[in-house]
């Protein structure tokens, strides 16, 4: 009896063992070869085994995972042929999320939580612009200024632009042109709907981790989001970063706490600088000890950097075509990722796989990859295709998080504090008497930035406590 998920059957049944599910995985293959079915099978099995799942629905066809499959003799026959036995249609508990709040609970983060590193990538900033952004965060972090949404960040940027000369001596060059460029990028982000991503109440990872013996599939509606690829990739990476920083070390578990599926993985790695790739590699390597598995979904293994690919122990490879030199390279790369099977020409098999077939290699109970098998993937128990709008609305209204995230909160933050300080400083500046030389005296008087810093520390410092500390990808380390 395997304590795991039946994935499919070749010469023998193929299982993903729960104890090895946090060793990460890859689901690859050309469009239309059956990757989505494999994802469904894994997500269903994990949820049924009490594991929380976070999954982005980039095509809009995964929402049916919450509904039982339709009565279809072909599914029953395939179930018998792949070792399932009696086919019992069933849906999974599903929590729907949507950045834009149309097809799920609004899912948000804050500017402070995302941090300057990922935000710089989201905005496609140059090194000089990233430096100015880091200074804005540094001042906000040191002085307890809450950066929650885009208007907070704009206010902070306006502030450092106005006080560039004073700040340069302490933090390095603050170029007004760099500040202006960041402001323009923020405007472009707002125009494409990115403003909806930032604010409160922010997403709480504990809402994903809660299980009652059966895990839930947390489904992110990403049909609209995928049209903004940098926003999609950066947001998912920010979530992964928060998971990594928030969860404690767990050691070896009999099953993961959470499995995170990263679809369209090429969007994450495609134009990422080496510094970011190194950090992603570090997170993937370390996060498994916190009871989290990460599964990348993409068309080709070539989409995944070698350092990350080497950490993906469980692999499902659907068909690839070999029409172009790059296709042929992808086939060779895919074949090299599998442990050899003397009875199977892996490279040849990859190009011959039918829809619904895959080459499967999972980790055994000792963590060793099994020899690759050509297998038919078992049918999922949930509905193939999307849920109806009314089914999604009902799941949202009757779900455990109903009403928690729907109403945005705009509490006092950097924008309000900076505006109030500026308004308070204006009358005193106008009425200030000039010295005998015609210049305003400075000796013994605080500069505007010093007054702002001290006032902000007094008014908000008690709320945030000590200076903010950030983790590998810039996420805030709470309670450390």
Most confident option among 160-164, 295-299, 340-344: 295-299
pLDDT greater at residue 143 or residue 291: 291
Q: Locate the DSSP E strands across 205-313.
A: 217-221, 258-262, 292-298
Q: Find residue 17's DSSP bridge partners.
A: 4
**Helix 448-464 and helix 414-431, axial crossing angle in degrees, nearest 10:** 150
> What pLDDT score does 252 carry?
85
Percent of all residues in the chain with a pLDDT value above 70, rounded to a whole number: 89
Per-residue confidence at 412, pLDDT binned at 50, 70, 90?
very high
> What pLDDT score does 453 carry?
41
Asked whether the beta carbons of 91 and 43 are under 8 A apart, the reply is: no
C-alpha distances (whole Å) from 196 to each of 27, 306, 406 are: 30, 34, 12
Per-residue confidence at 45, pLDDT binned at 50, 70, 90?
very high
Least confident of 304-308, 327-331, 473-477: 473-477
Q: What is the DSSP string of 71-93?
A: --HHHHHHHHHTT--S-------
pLDDT greater at residue 41 or residue 422: 41
> What pLDDT score does 480 carry?
45
pLDDT greater at residue 215 or residue 445: 215
pLDDT greater at residue 58 or residue 211: 58
C-alpha distances (whole Å) from 168 to each of 137, 172, 175, 219 are: 15, 5, 9, 45
Per-residue confidence at 32, pLDDT binned at 50, 70, 90?
very high
Answer yes or no: is pLDDT of 479 > 60. no
Answer yes or no: is pLDDT of 71 > 60. yes
> What pLDDT score does 427 carry?
64
**Residues 43-70, mean pLDDT to the nearest whole number:** 95
> What pLDDT score does 393 carry?
96
> What pLDDT score does 478 carry?
62
**Residues 51-56, mean pLDDT to the nearest whole number:** 96
Q: Are strands 258-262 and 314-317 parallel, antiparallel or unpaired?
A: unpaired
> What pLDDT score does 428 carry?
57
Answer yes or no: is pLDDT of 443 > 80. no
- The C-alpha atoms of residue 476 and residue 468 are separated, in whole angstroms, by 7
pLDDT greater at residue 428 or residue 419: 419
The per-residue pLDDT for range 192-224, each reduced to its tens digit, is 889 999 999 999 999 998 767 788 999 999 999
Q: Which of 18, 6, 63, 15 is nearest to 293 (CA)?
A: 18
Which pair of structure tokens corresponds to residue 413?
């933050």
Answer yes or no: is pLDDT of 373 > 50. yes
Q: Which of 133, 118, 120, 470 is nearest to 280 (CA)?
A: 118
**Residues 341-363, mean pLDDT to the nearest whole number:** 93
> What pLDDT score does 431 carry?
53
The per-residue pLDDT for range 266-319, each reduced to its tens digit, is 999 988 888 889 999 999 999 999 999 999 999 999 999 999 999 999 999 999
> What pLDDT score does 214 carry?
81
Answer yes or no: is pLDDT of 426 > 90. no
> What b/e sequence results for 247-273 when a residue is b if at least 16 CB atoms lie within 10 Å of its CB, and e otherwise?
beeeeebebbbbbbbbbbbbbbbeebe
| Edge-to-edge strands, sheet with 357-361 | 13-17, 4-9, 373-377, 357-361, 314-317, 25-28, 292-298, 258-262, 52-57, 217-221, 94-98, 105-106
Which pair of structure tokens corresponds to residue 1?
């009896």
Q: Locate the DSSP E strands across 267-366.
A: 292-298, 314-317, 357-361
Per-residue confidence at 442, pLDDT binned at 50, 70, 90?
very low
Question: Which domains, from first to last, does the chain contain?
Answer: 12-108+200-398 (3.40.50.300), 124-197+414-430+444-464 (no CATH)
C-alpha distances (whole Å) from 370 to each of 14, 389, 403, 425, 448 are: 10, 42, 46, 70, 66
Per-residue confidence at 447, pLDDT binned at 50, 70, 90?
very low
Per-residue confidence at 467, pLDDT binned at 50, 70, 90?
low
Average pLDDT over the chain reads: 88
Per-residue confidence at 460, pLDDT binned at 50, 70, 90?
very low
Overall pTM surpassing 0.95 (yes/no): no
Percent of all residues in the chain with a pLDDT value above 90, rounded to a whole number: 72
Answer yes or no: is pLDDT of 433 > 70. no
Answer yes or no: is pLDDT of 243 > 70. yes
Asked whether the beta carbons of 273 and 281 are under 8 A apart, the reply is: no
């Amino acid at each position: 009896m395997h304590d795991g998920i039946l994935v499919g059957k070749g010469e023998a049944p193929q299982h993903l063992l729960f104890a090895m599910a946090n060793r990460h995985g890859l689901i690859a293959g050309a469009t239309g070869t059956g990757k989505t079915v494999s994802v469904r099978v894994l997500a269903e099995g994990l949820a049924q085994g009490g594991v929380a799942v976070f999954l982005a629905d980039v095509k809009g066809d995964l929402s049916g995972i919450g509904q039982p499959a339709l009565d279809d003799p072909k599914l029953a026959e395939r179930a018998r042929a792949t070792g399932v036995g009696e086919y019992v249609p069933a849906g999974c508990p599903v929590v729907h999320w949507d950045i834009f709040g149309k097809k799920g609970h609004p899912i948000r983060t804050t500017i402070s939580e995302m941090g300057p590193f990922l935000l710089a990538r989201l905005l496609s900033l140059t090194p000089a612009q990233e430096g100015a952004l880091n200074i804005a965060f540094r001042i906000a972090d040191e002085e307890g200024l809450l950066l929650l949404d885009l208007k907070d960040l704009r206010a902070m940027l306006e502030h450092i632009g106005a006080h560039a000369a004073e700040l340069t001596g302490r933090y390095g060059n603050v170029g007004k042109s760099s500040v202006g460029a960041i402001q323009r990028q923020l405007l472009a982000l707002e125009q494409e709907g990115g403003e909806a991503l930032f604010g409160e109440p922010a997403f709480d990872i504990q809402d994903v981790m809660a299980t009652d013996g059966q895990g839930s599939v947390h489904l992110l509606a990403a049909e609209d989001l995928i049209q903004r690829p940098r926003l999609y990739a950066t947001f998912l990476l920010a979530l992964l970063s928060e998971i990594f920083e928030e969860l404690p070390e767990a050691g070896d578990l009999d099953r993961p706490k959470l499995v995170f599926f990263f679809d369209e993985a090429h969007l994450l790695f495609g134009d990422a600088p080496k510094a970011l790739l190194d950090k992603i590699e570090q997170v993937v390597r370390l996060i498994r000890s916190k009871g989290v598995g990460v599964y990348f979904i993409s068309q080709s293994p070539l989409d995944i950097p070698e350092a990350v690919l080497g950490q993906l122990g469980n692999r499902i490879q659907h068909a690839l075509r070999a029409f172009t030199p790059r296709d042929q390279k992808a086939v060779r790369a895919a074949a090299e990722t599998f442990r050899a099977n003397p009875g199977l020409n892996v490279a040849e098999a990859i190009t011959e796989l039918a829809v619904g077939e895959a080459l499967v290699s999972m980790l055994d109970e000792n963590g060793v990859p099994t020899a690759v098998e050509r297998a038919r993937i078992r049918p999922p128990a949930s509905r193939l295709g999307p849920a109806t709008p009314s089914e999604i609305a009902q799941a949202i209204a009757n779900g455990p998080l109903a009403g928690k995230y729907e109403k945005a909160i705009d509490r006092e933050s950097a924008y309000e504090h900076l505006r109030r300080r500026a308004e308070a400083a204006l009358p005193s500046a106008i009425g200030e008497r000039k010295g005998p030389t015609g210049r305003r005296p400075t000796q013994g008087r605080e500069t505007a930035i010093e007054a702002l810093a001290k006032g902000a520390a007094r008014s908000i410092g008690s709320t945030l406590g000590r200076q903010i500390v950030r983790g590998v990808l810039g996420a805030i380390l709470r309670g450390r």
